[in-house]
Structure 1
Amino acid sequence: MEKSSKTSQDDDRDSRQPTITDASQPAKADEHNVLIVDWEGPDDPENPRNWSSLKKWGATTIVSAFTFISPVSSSMVAPATEQLAQQFGITSSVIVAMTTSVFVLAYAFGPLFLGPLSEVFGRSRVLQLSNLWYLAWNLGCGFAQNTGQLIAFRFLAGLGGSAPLAIGGGVIGDLFSPDQRGQAIAIYSLAPLLGPVVGPVAGAWIAQDSTWRWVFWSTTIADGIVQVLGTIYLRETYAPILLERKAERIRKAMDEEKANNTVVRTVFQTGERNFRAFLAKALVRPFSLFIHEPIVQLLGLYMAFVYGLLYLFITTLPSIFQDTYHERVGISGLNYLALGVGLTGASQTNARLMDRVYSYLKTKNGGVGRPEFRLPNIVPGTIFLPIGLLLTGWTARSSIHWIVPDIGVACVGAGTILVFQSVQTYVIDSFTLHAASALAAVTFFRSMAGFGFPLFAPTMYNALGYGKGDTILAVVAIVIGCPAPWLLWVYGERIRNSSRHARKA
């Protein structure tokens, strides 16, 4: 008969630490000749949770590199948009902004398919094939001959580049237990936000000293290096796929008679596996989460606002420092470093605090962890964000030194990363087994905002100015952001308990 044991509450019912069943003894199939394949005890070296720290952090670093290089491409073209407009004769400010933000539009749709596919075919395979797709189309952007080609190629490149945003969080969930997950998420989640900072800095100098086409060719070269490293070092981490491979090895080791009379399946499979139905269910899962899960909708909307603000800043900084402070393209691009300082400083501080706060609250809760223990780290972010908006908006004038709006930009970066890291970890803790699908649903919201916010930004700032425009955004940040952690702290568990997918995790 199949053995079973209760999952440890210390892992927050983490379904990647399944009930322990000895799969090394094929003779122990039950009376229906069903052999359950599971990890061979809690210390099984094949379980990614038991890999060495070097292997775990190596995989985290490579996934973070994939997650970094794609957002670099999303924003690197921003300082070169004037060159593009001149070469292709673009007169509409909306079309000019779209050459940058259409890449992020693809971020909304790609994860809805790539996230669940990683739960069918494995994280590593989907991640690397998607990156090759991105590499090919990003290279094609450098050869675009008109606006239509450039926008189409950018969208197609974004589809492939979106994979790490959905799959990377799942890899972190595969490798680390909840008590260890905070620091890994802090490093991983910094990549998609630091990429839009590094991109415009490099793109500004390329646009000033060369042609806009090298913006795309240089990122293609860098991505090629990351792809080579990923092919060599990134191993599969998804437990159901690894156990399925183990089950296949056991099937092949059986003699023909025993193989015909024994059904070998993993602890994650229930009954006979209809692959077509399984694939269809996996592909529908992000849409089901998107439609039916209130916790995904709430977190997705909040992330949408924060992420939209980030891309709004990315596309408006050149106009602030080139038009108001009359800086050259290359020099104006250096102001993106202020955003990077805020992102990096807050991220590294949060990396050291997130797991400590979680462990402290878990101990006070009788040793039982909850995803809500990630929420206290959001609170400083909800304060930094409106302060940064107000400071940037009201000091962006030639009579005030440029360092003052840069301080505001740094505050926006700090607020963004604190919210981003805490929400991502909350989602992974809540939907561990289907973290990729849950993150894909959340990514849809935020990427739509990242696409849409830059399109209305020029009109808003032309009509209201930077002071009033950023004040409106700051008020919205206060109204939405400040109550969010408190409401989730009080009602989050109740909302999760009404969720079928979250209860499973």
Structure 2
Amino acid sequence: MVASSTSPKHGTTTQPQELAQMPPAHVTNVDTSPTSKRDPDHDPFLVEFTPGFDVRNPKDWTTSRKWSVTDVLSASGFNRIMVSTIMAPALTTIAHELEMSPTESALALSIYLLASAFGPIFIGPLSEVYGRQTVLHVTGVWFLAWNAACGFAKNKETLIASRFLAGFGASSIYALAGGVLGDIWGPEQRGRSLGLYLLIPIIGAAVGPIIGGFMAGRTTWRWMFWSTSIFQAVMVLVSFGVFRETYAPVILKRRAAMLRRTTGDSRYYTIHERMEESHSLAYILAKAFTRPMRLLLLQPLVQTASLISALSYGILYILLSSFSDLWIQHYNMSVEMSGLHYIALAAGELTSSTLGGYLLDSIYSRMKARDPENELEPEHRLPFALPGYLLSVLALVFYGWTAQFRVHWIAVDIAIFLVSFGLQLAGLPQQAYVMDVYQEHTSSALAASQFPRSLAAFLFPLFAPAMYRSLGYGWANSVLALLGLMLGLPGSIFFWRWGKRMRMKFVGSY
């Protein structure tokens, strides 16, 4: 990052200290209009990253530093998402101790996900105003405090309220993760970085019931929250030491402020500062906070992606919330043994994230090699989603009828492995597509997509018990498979055929 000017003829660079001593004639003709197009070679006070390579530019960081930031996000996401499902095997015990009805106990589990629908709408835009680093640290401490409070709850009202507030803090990972990955990784590395990031947190959703099952059978359910709070405290300390700011506009603003302070020259500025200087903080925050909902309401691409991912997420949480009950009620297994079956679900996500991330980057590199002079359109990622949708649909039918007829447990576990594998395989290119299209406001775009996803994850498990009682596992899962087929395949075709046209038509509307 520099506040310097490089001569195209001689290749010389003027340092900030030298710039501060330049006579006023060098800046008297600078157009300060927010919409003007400036040539940085003729404006020594414009602070931006050095073209080609700049160690302060997150995209130019070393690979090890990029992976350290990605790993911190991933580990933080693992804990926060694990907490969303860790209660599942102990719901009966918690309901008895706190005198909760079945609906109230289900609400205590899923209200965490309701909070994760609303949290990113505020947290994502905040990270685009104040930076990813500050928001990650503040929400991490917030989540730690309220998750620990769940373990001390003496009544159902306290537990439900604490779960909601903990979920609000935990939801920052949905808003920040995609934004941070977009900040530091280029399109050619999107698959591997996204696959590795999603790998650990999504496994957390499946691992939660395994850990919760053993805790429910061997100690008090309160240790589910106390143990995850201890882990979160460790992650807060690690993130303070490892995580660095990744959002380029905030990095540049801080650099410009430092130059103004150290040189005493108030003329240093960034493009974003100049664009915002005529607006109040209230206006900037209002526009930022409304951006996710404007994207969701006005952008057909976000709407379609959100609907598809919402259905997939809802199906996943139906499986997560009902899987333990299948083994306890229909296969007469203990709580601990029912939790072990979630390994099959986690293994499907693990395999899909690893393989899918590699294939996404490999396909991108091969297509780029065919036309190295031009950037690939984001829509080139989408055909990769079709095999995932088809596999998940067929596997859901397989899972439903093997469970219905109580086939040997290995067949049911193979089916659930294939379901989670297919859902994850279809979700990877879709999320990469949204990140590619909305690079300037990735956090807001993903926050918009997360809203219906979290609502589906909150609502679907509430009607799942009645659905399975009325239709049985066979027909209920066949209906879910049909819904997935009717939405996933046409949605992917819509992106492929009309995605570029929609991008051109709605450019700048957010």
TM-score by length of 2: 0.90
Aligned residue for 2:274, secondary structure, equals coil
Please give the alpha-carbon distance, in whole angstroms, between the structure 2 residues aligned to 1:426 and 1:478.
20
Alignment of 1:344-355 (within 5 A): 344-355=350-361
Please give the alpha-carbon distance, in whole angstroms, between the structure 2 residues aligned to 1:48 and 1:337.
36
Alignment of 1:454-473 (within 5 A): 454-473=461-480
Please give the alpha-carbon distance, in whole angstroms, between the structure 1 residues aligned to 2:300 and 2:183.
25
* Paired residues, number: 481
Stretches of structure 2 lacking an aligned partner (at least 5 in a row): 7-12, 33-44
Structure 2 residue identity aligned to 1:212: W
Alignment of 1:318 with 2:328, yes or no, is no
Residue 41 of structure 1 and its aligned partner are, at CA, apart by 2.9
Within the candidate set 434, 445, 449, 1:442 is matched to 449
Contact 2:310 2:456 in 1 (8 A): yes
Aligned residue for 1:235, secondary structure, equals coil
Aligned residue for 1:90, secondary structure, equals coil
Alignment of 1:488 with 2:488, yes or no, is no
Aligned equivalent of 2:258: 249
Contact 1:23 1:36 in 2 (8 A): no
Please give the alpha-carbon distance, in whole angstroms, between the structure 1 residues aligned to 2:257 and 2:180.
23
Please give the alpha-carbon distance, in whole angstroms, between the structure 1 residues aligned to 2:73 and 2:100.
37
Within the candidate set 155, 159, 167, 1:158 is matched to 167
Report which stretch shifted further, 359-368 or 434-443.
359-368
Aligned equivalent of 1:395: 402
Stretches of structure 1 lacking an aligned partner (at least 5 in a row): 6-20
Please give the alpha-carbon distance, in whole angstroms, between the structure 2 residues aligned to 1:4 and 1:400.
72
Please give the alpha-carbon distance, in whole angstroms, between the structure 2 residues aligned to 1:270 and 1:490.
38
Aligned residue for 1:212, secondary structure, equals coil
Residue 85 of structure 1 and its aligned partner are, at CA, apart by 1.3
Report which stretch shifted further, 23-32 or 309-318.
23-32
Identity %: 38
Alignment of 1:282-321 (within 5 A): 282-321=288-327
Structure 2 residue identity aligned to 1:404: A
Within the candidate set 37, 43, 47, 2:57 is matched to 47
TM-score by length of 1: 0.91
Aligned equivalent of 2:40: none
Contact 2:5 2:14 in 1 (8 A): no
Aligned equivalent of 1:71: 81
Alignment of 1:268 with 2:272, yes or no, is yes
Please give the alpha-carbon distance, in whole angstroms, between the structure 2 residues aligned to 1:209 and 1:75.
18
Alignment of 1:321-470 (within 5 A): 321-364=327-370, 367-397=374-404, 399-470=406-477
Please give the alpha-carbon distance, in whole angstroms, between the structure 1 residues aligned to 2:251 and 2:97.
51
Please give the alpha-carbon distance, in whole angstroms, between the structure 2 residues aligned to 1:141 and 1:248.
42
Contact 1:190 1:417 in 2 (8 A): no
Alignment of 1:229 with 2:238, yes or no, is yes
Please give the alpha-carbon distance, in whole angstroms, between the structure 2 residues aligned to 1:353 and 1:442.
24
Please give the alpha-carbon distance, in whole angstroms, between the structure 1 residues aligned to 2:462 and 2:370.
47
Alignment RMSD (CA, Å):
2.0
Residue 376 of structure 1 and its aligned partner are, at CA, apart by 2.2
Residue 420 of structure 1 and its aligned partner are, at CA, apart by 2.2
Contact 1:338 1:406 in 2 (8 A): yes
Contact 2:90 2:216 in 1 (8 A): yes
Please give the alpha-carbon distance, in whole angstroms, between the structure 2 residues aligned to 1:391 and 1:202.
27
Residue 433 of structure 1 and its aligned partner are, at CA, apart by 1.4
- The C-alpha deviation readout for 1:49-94, integer Å capped at 9, x for no partner, is 1111110000000011111111100000000101011112223x32
Residue 295 of structure 1 and its aligned partner are, at CA, apart by 0.7
Please give the alpha-carbon distance, in whole angstroms, between the structure 2 residues aligned to 1:501 and 1:189.
29
Evaluate the alpha carbon distance shift between residue 30 and residue 127 of structure 1 in structure 2; reply closer, same or farther with a 3 A threshold: farther
Please give the alpha-carbon distance, in whole angstroms, between the structure 1 residues aligned to 2:63 and 2:419.
33
Residue 181 of structure 1 and its aligned partner are, at CA, apart by 1.8
